[in-house]
Each structure stands twice: as structure tokens, then as C-alpha cells.
Amino acid sequence: EAGVAQSPRYKIIEKRQSVAFWCNPISGHATLYWYQQILGQGPKLLIQFQNNGVVDDSQLPKDRFSAERLKGVDSTLKIQPAKLEDSAVYLCATGTGNSPLHFGNGTRLTVT
């Protein structure tokens, strides 16, 4: 089966610019997560979707981050405007029921 696809693989932007990341889940996976992983740390959950509805966005900095999952399939995560501390790897993970999560390889964002 095809894995979780993320793009772009790398992105470099200047602070105050905007950026968007895209995730294509494994077919049939209803649950989709976005994680932020700062260098040297474990991934931190930003938002969880169940189909196209938000289940948990308590750790999403809503003043600058937004995410959507139209039609319950692909998802995009946007940052506007970016800050230096947003430099991190943004991971998308998908799953179904109580099954283990499948992670993509992430988008590495560098904000200068």
C-alpha cells in the first residue's frame, strides 16, 4: 500500500511570509494528524481530524496556523505569518480506528 505522502520535502522562507504544507493520507484512513517536530525533540500534536471534522486543535497556535481537510481526504496546514520559532519538521500521520499511525517523511521548514 502507498504510504502517507507529504510535499514539499523542504521549504525555506523569510519571517512574516506565509507557507503551506500538503498531506495525502493512506486510502481509507479516516483520522489525520499534523505534528510539529523541533530539532532534538519528539513530535508535538498540532491538530487531529476525523474525516473532515476537527477533533482536537487545542495545541494549534490559531493566530498564525490553520489547517483544513476538505472532503475528508487531503489536508493542508498553513502558517501565516511565519516566525523564526516555526522552524521545524511538520509531520502528517494517518490512521484508522485503533490501528497504529502511519507517518509521512515530513516537510522541513526553515524560517530565516
Partner 1 sequence: DAKTTQPNSMESNEEEPVHLPCNHSTISGTDYIHWYRQLPSQGPEYVIHGLTSNVNNRMASLAIAEDRKSSTLILHRATLRDAAVYYCSRQGGGGADGLTFGKGTHLIIQP
- Footprint on this chain of partner 1 (rule: CB under 8 A): 4, 33, 35, 40-45, 48, 56, 91, 93, 97-98, 100-106
Q: Which of 96, 76, 75 is nearest to 29 (CA)?
A: 96
Provide, rounded to whole angstroms, the least separation between the CB of residue 74 and partner 1.
17
Cβ proximity to partner 1: between 19 and 95 the closer is 95
Provide, rounded to whole angstroms, the least separation between the CB of residue 99 and partner 1.
9
Cβ proximity to partner 1: between 5 and 20 the closer is 5
DSSP string covering 41-90, please? S--EEEEEEETTEEEE-TTS-TTTEEEE-GGGS-EEEEESS--GGG-EEE
Whether 88 contacts 7, CB under 8 Å: no
Provide, rounded to whole angstroms, the least separation between the CB of residue 44 and partner 1.
7
Cβ proximity to partner 1: between 81 and 110 the closer is 110
